[in-house]
C-alpha cells in the first residue's frame, strides 16, 4: 500500500502536487471560467451571502485562515475562522445570508459536525469542503465541494491541507465571479497561477529534501521550536508548528511575526531554533522587511534561524542560518509551497527519533467524540 515509501506520511507528502492538481480538475472551463454547478446552490443565494464563517479543527482550521486572507481580498466580505469546538457555545451571529464553510478531511470530526448542525438550526447555509465522499459532514451540509486528495492514511494531515486551500480558493474565486468583485481577467490569471502550483510543489520535493534532512539531523535534540510568519505565512507557521508537535513530540509554538515583541521573544535564548516563513521580496516588500527584522531580532538573542524563502532572496541567503527554498510565486499562492518543507522536516525529525510517523501517540485520524 505504501508503494515503496517509508511511511504513508512520506507517500502522502509526495502526493501534494497531485492533491492540488486533482482538486482543480474539471472545475475550470476551457475559457477560464469557473464552473461549480456541482454545488447546487443557486446563483442568487450565492450573490446574497454577506459573511462567511469557516468552522474546522486542527490543520483544516489553518487552511481556513489562509482562505480568509484570500477571500476577503477577492470578494470583500468578512470571513471569520472559528475552531469548531468553540463555535456553538458562544452564540455566534448567524443569518440566512451567512455561509458557513465546514472544512474537514475525514468528514467525521464531531466538533465540526456539531458546529454545522448548529449553523443550520439557526438558518444559515452550510457548505462542506471535504475529502471523504459520503461522510457525515457533506451528508448534513447544503452543498459540498470535494477535495480530491485521495485517501489520507497518516494521522498527521499533509496533502489534504493543500487540497483544502485549493478548494477554498476555488470557492472564493467563484464568489468573486458571481458577485462581480473581480475582473474576468483577474480571475483567469489567479486560476492560471493556481494551476502552476503543482509543478512548483514538485520542485520543492525534488530539490529541498537534502537540506531539510541535514537540518533535521542537526536539530534532532532541540527541546522546542518557534515558528513565525506574517500574512498567509502566519497560518503556515501554525501548521508547521502543529506538524512537529504531532509527530516528533517537540514543544512548538507558532505565532504571527508581529507578535514577537509582545511576548514570544522572551523565550528566545542561545541556540533556540526559530523557523521563519519569509514573504516574497517583490510586491509586498514592507512585510518582507518586517520579517527580515524579526530574523535579526531573534538572531541577536542567539537563535538558530531556519527560513522558508523565495529562490534568489539574497537578504535571506545572507542572514538565515539555513534556508528551505521555494520557487517564485504570487504571495497568495505561497502557502501551497511553504508548507511542504515543513511537512518533510517534521517527518524527518520523527524518523530520526524512531517514532511511528503514521500513528503518533495519543492521536486519532478522526475524532468522533466532542
Ligand atoms: C485531528 C487530527 O484530530 O483532527 C488533525 O489529528 C486534523 O490532523 C483534525 O487536522 C481535523 O480533522 P478533519 O478530518 O476534520 O480534517
Q: What is the DSSP letter of 69?
A: H
Residue 343 Cβ < 6 Å to ligand 1: no
Provide the annotated active-site residues: 365
Cell triple for 47: 450573490
Residue 23 Cβ < 6 Å to ligand 1: no
Mutate which of 8, 9, 60 for ligand 1? The one with the most ligand atoms within 8 Å of its CB, which is 60
- Ligand 1, residue 157: give the atom nearest the CA: 8
Name the closest-CA residue to atom 5, ligand 1.
58
Q: Residue 284: pLDDT above 60?
A: no
Residue 236 Cβ < 6 Å to ligand 1: no
Residue 178 Cβ < 6 Å to ligand 1: no
Residues 74-98 have pLDDT tens digits of: 999 999 999 999 998 899 999 999 9
More confident residue, 266 or 67: 67
Distances (CA, A) of 317 to 147, 162, 310, 314, 323: 36, 27, 10, 5, 7
Residues 202-255 have pLDDT tens digits of: 999 999 999 999 999 999 999 999 999 999 999 999 999 999 999 999 999 999
Query: Which of 65, 243, 232, 81 is CA-nearest to residue 158?
Result: 243
Residues 103-132 have pLDDT tens digits of: 999 999 999 999 999 999 999 999 999 999
Tell me how far apart the alpha carbons of residues 287 and 218 are, in angstroms, rounded to a whole number.
29
- Ligand 1, residue 57: give the atom nearest the CA: 11
- 323 Cα: distance to centroid of ligand 1 (angstroms): 29
- 139 Cα: distance to centroid of ligand 1 (angstroms): 18
Work out the pLDDT band at 364, boundaries 50, 70, 90.
confident
- 283 Cα: distance to centroid of ligand 1 (angstroms): 34
Those residues with Cβ within 8 angstroms of residue 366's Cβ, 6 or more apart along the chain or in another chain: 105, 106, 108, 109
Q: What local confidence, expressed as pLDDT, does residue 283 receive?
A: 64
Got the DSSP string for 296-310?
HHHHHTT-EEEEEEE
Q: What local confidence, expressed as pLDDT, does residue 36 receive?
A: 84
Residues 341-354 have pLDDT tens digits of: 999 999 999 999 99
Instruction: For residues 160-164, give the mean pLDDT.
Output: 98
Work out the pLDDT band at 366, boundaries 50, 70, 90.
confident
Mutate which of 57, 156, 163 for ligand 1? The one with the most ligand atoms within 8 Å of its CB, which is 57
Task: Output the average pLDDT for the chain.
Answer: 94
Amino acid at each position: 500500500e505504501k508503494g515503496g515509501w517509508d511511511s504513508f506520511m512520506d507517500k502522502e507528502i509526495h502526493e501534494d502536487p497531485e492533491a492540488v492538481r486533482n482538486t482543480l480538475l474539471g472545475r475550470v472551463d476551457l475559457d477560464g471560467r469557473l464552473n461549480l454547478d456541482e454545488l447546487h446552490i443557486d446563483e442568487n443565494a450565492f450573490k446574497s451571502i454577506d459573511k462567511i464563517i469557516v468552522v474546522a479543527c486542527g490543520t483544516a482550521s489553518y487552511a481556513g485562515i489562509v482562505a480568509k486572507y484570500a477571500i476577503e481580498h477577492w470578494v470583500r466580505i468578512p470571513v471569520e475562522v472559528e475552531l469548531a469546538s468553540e463555535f456553538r457555545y458562544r452564540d455566534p451571529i448567524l443569518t440566512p445570508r451567512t455561509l458557513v464553510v465546514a472544512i474537514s478531511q475525514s468528514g467525521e470530526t464531531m466538533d465540526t459536525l456539531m458546529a454545522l448542525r448548529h449553523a443550520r438550526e439557526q438558518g444559515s447555509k452550510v457548505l462542506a469542503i471535504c475529502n471523504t465522499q459520503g461522510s457525515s459532514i457533506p451528508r448534513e451540509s447544503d452543498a459540498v465541494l470535494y477535495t480530491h486528495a485521495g485517501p489520507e492514511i497518516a494521522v498527521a494531515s499533509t496533502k489534504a491541507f493543500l487540497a483544502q486551500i485549493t478548494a477554498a480558493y476555488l470557492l472564493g474565486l467563484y464568489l468573486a465571479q458571481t458577485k462581480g468583485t473581480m475582473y474576468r481577467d483577474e480571475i483567469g490569471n489567479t486560476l492560471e497561477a493556481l494551476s502552476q502550483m503543482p509543478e512548483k510543489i514538485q520542485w520543492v520535493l525534488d530539490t529541498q529534501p537534502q537540506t531539510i534532512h541535514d537540518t533535521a539531523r542537526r536539530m534532532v535534540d532541540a527541546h522546542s521550536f518557534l515558528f513565525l510568519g506574517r500574512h498567509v505565512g502566519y497560518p503556515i507557521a501554525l501548521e508547521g508548528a502543529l506538524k512537529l508537535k504531532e509527530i516528533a513530540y517537540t514543544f512548538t509554538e507558532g505565532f504571527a511575526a508581529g507578535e514577537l515583541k509582545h511576548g514570544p521573544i522572551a523565550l528566545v535564548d542561545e541556540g533556540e531554533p526559530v523557523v521563519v516563513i519569509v514573504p516574497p521580496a517583490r510586491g509586498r516588500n514592507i512585510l518582507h522587511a518586517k520579517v527580515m527584522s524579526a530574523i535579526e531580532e531573534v538572531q541577536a538573542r542567539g537563535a538558530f534561524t531556519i527560513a522558508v524563502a523565495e529562490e534568489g532572496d539574497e537578504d535571506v541567503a545572507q542572514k538565515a542560518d539555513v534556508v528551505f527554498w521555494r520557487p517564485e510565486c504570487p504571495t497568495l499562492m505561497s502557502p501551497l509551497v511553504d508548507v511542504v518543507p515543513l511537512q518533510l522536516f517534521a517527518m524527518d525529525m520523527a524518523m530520526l527519533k524512531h517514532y511511528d510517523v503514521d500513528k503518533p501517540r495519543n492521536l486519532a485520524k478522526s475524532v468522533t467524540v466532542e
